Every structure is written in C-alpha cells, then in structure tokens.
C-alpha cells in the first residue's frame, strides 16, 4: 500500500515537472517574422461565440492561408452543429426528434446518427457564407505560419439565426410547426449552447 502511494506520488511529480517544462510562451522569434497584420487572435477574442480561428503552415503563403481558413470554417461548423444538436434535443426530446408521424425508422442509434449527420452537413454548408475577418501571417525561413479568423459580421444574432435554420432543415415536417411555435425558446437554447 505504502509503495503504491509513493509510486503514484512520484508519477504525479514527474507529470507536473514535464507539464511545467513544456508550457512556455511563444515569442515572435519562434513564430517567425511578421509579414502582415497580427490581429486574428484579437478579432476572435472579441466575439468567440460567433467566430472561429484556424492555423495553417506551408511553404507557399496562399496554401497556408487556405489550410487555416478550412480549419477555421470547420471549427465554426462544429460550433453550430453542437448548438443545433443541443437545442434540438432540448426542444423535442430524443424520441420525438427521431420519429415522423408516429413511426420510428431503424434503431435508436441509426436515428441519432442520421440526425447528427444531417446537422453536420447543413452546418458545413452554412459556414460557407461566413467571412474571413482577419488574417495574421508569419514567416520563418521558407515556412509560412498563418492564422485566419472567420465569422459573421452580424455577430451572435446572425450565427444563432443560422443555427436555427439548420435545425429547421434537419427535422421532419411534423416537427417544423412545433419549432416555429416555440421559436423564442429554441433561440434561447441555441444562445445558451454558444455560451458554454
């Protein structure tokens, strides 16, 4: 017993030592020479609920920008999908969202996957109209390190409206009437999800 306590204590100390050694601040020297604006992180931090940031590295600048933008759009799509899934399950419950006119389709896991797949596909389509808000470029040697912030100029209101539209498209026709009737509650659930 005593040996196991000593063993676990030494493992914890080792992990703490390693973690402290690897957490260091990144300086501009490590990122490389700045060749453009450096506001992507600041822009994202001003409204993180309706924006996302991505990072791309490549020896061609445009390729690095494209990689970072794709990463940011993917993160924004996941943010919207998560909010829609949360609001859908809060509003309709797990059983109701997977049935139509009293008939269930497939197993419960098939139904859940189908709803989740529709939400994720629709969320990916919705972020195509998000705009690039800021790009930060760094160069070190022949390598570009780029950060791209994407989001909606309408802020939280626009992203919540887009998430509501995704939910509306992902559910059955039977549930759409209930969704329109309870719109304010659903919008509140979506906003709550973005704040988490």
Q: Kindly state the tokens that stand for 41.
A: 């992180």
Q: Determine the pLDDT at residue 122.
A: 92
Q: Determine the pLDDT at residue 31.
A: 61
Token pair 């791309």 in the structure block, residue: 56
CB atoms near residue 182 (< 10 Å)? 14
Mean pLDDT in residue range 18-22: 34
Q: Determine the pLDDT at residue 82.
A: 93
More confidently predicted of 40 and 99: 40
Whole-number Å distance between alpha carbons of 88 and 169: 11
Q: Per-residue confidence at 116, pLDDT binned at 50, 70, 90?
A: confident
Q: Is the dihedral of CA 33, 39, 42, 47 positive or negative?
A: negative
Q: Kindly state the tokens that stand for 169.
A: 């498209």
Q: Check if the beta carbon of residue 107 is closer than 8 Å to that of residue 73.
A: no
* CA dihedral angle for residue 83, residue 84, residue 88, residue 91, rounded to 10 degrees: 50
Mean pLDDT in residue range 20-38: 48
Q: In the CATH scheme, what is the code of domain 32-195? A: 3.10.129
% pLDDT > 90, the chain? 44
pLDDT higher than threshold 90 for residue 32: no
pLDDT higher than threshold 50 for residue 51: yes
More confidently predicted of 21 and 138: 138
Q: Which residues contact 30 (CB under 8 A, 6 or more apart)?
A: 140
Q: Determine the pLDDT at residue 55.
A: 95
Q: Mean pLDDT of all residues in the chain?
A: 78
Question: Where does residue 66 rank: exposed (0-12), middle (13-18), buried (19+ CB within 10 A)?
Answer: middle
Whole-number Å distance between alpha carbons of 50 and 44: 8
pLDDT higher than threshold 90 for residue 11: no
Q: Determine the pLDDT at residue 39.
A: 76
Q: Determine the pLDDT at residue 29.
A: 58
Whole-number Å distance between alpha carbons of 18 and 159: 40
Regarding beta strands 143-151 and 131-140, do their DSSP bridges make them parallel or antiparallel, or are they unpaired? Answer: antiparallel
pLDDT higher than threshold 60 for residue 142: yes
Q: Determine the pLDDT at residue 45.
A: 83
Q: Kindly state the tokens that stand for 130.
A: 């998000």
Mean pLDDT in residue range 53-76: 96
Q: Determine the pLDDT at residue 96.
A: 53
Q: Determine the pLDDT at residue 164.
A: 93
Helix (H) and strand (E) counts in the chain = 8, 6
């Amino acid at each position: 017993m005593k040996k196991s306590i000593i063993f676990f204590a030494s493992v914890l100390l080792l992990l703490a030592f390693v973690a402290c050694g690897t957490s260091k601040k990144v300086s501009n020297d490590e990122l490389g020479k700045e060749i453009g604006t450096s506001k992507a992180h600041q822009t994202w931090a001003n409204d993180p609920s309706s924006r996302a940031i991505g990072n791309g590295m490549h020896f061609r600048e445009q390729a690095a920008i494209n990689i970072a933008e794709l990463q940011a759009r993917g993160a924004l799509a996941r943010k919207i999908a998560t909010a829609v899934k949360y609001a859908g399950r809060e509003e309709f419950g797990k059983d109701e969202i997977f049935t139509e006119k009293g008939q269930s389709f497939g197993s419960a896991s098939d139904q859940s996957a189908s709803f989740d797949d529709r939400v994720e596909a629709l969320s990916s389509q919705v972020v195509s109209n998000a705009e690039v808000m800021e790009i930060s470029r760094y160069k070190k040697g022949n390598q570009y390190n780029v950060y791209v912030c994407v989001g909606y100029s309408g802020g939280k209101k626009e992203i919540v409206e887009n998430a509501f539209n995704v939910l509306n498209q992902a559910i059955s026709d039977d549930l759409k009437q209930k969704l329109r009737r309870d719109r304010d509650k659903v919008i509140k659930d979506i906003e709550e999800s973005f704040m988490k």
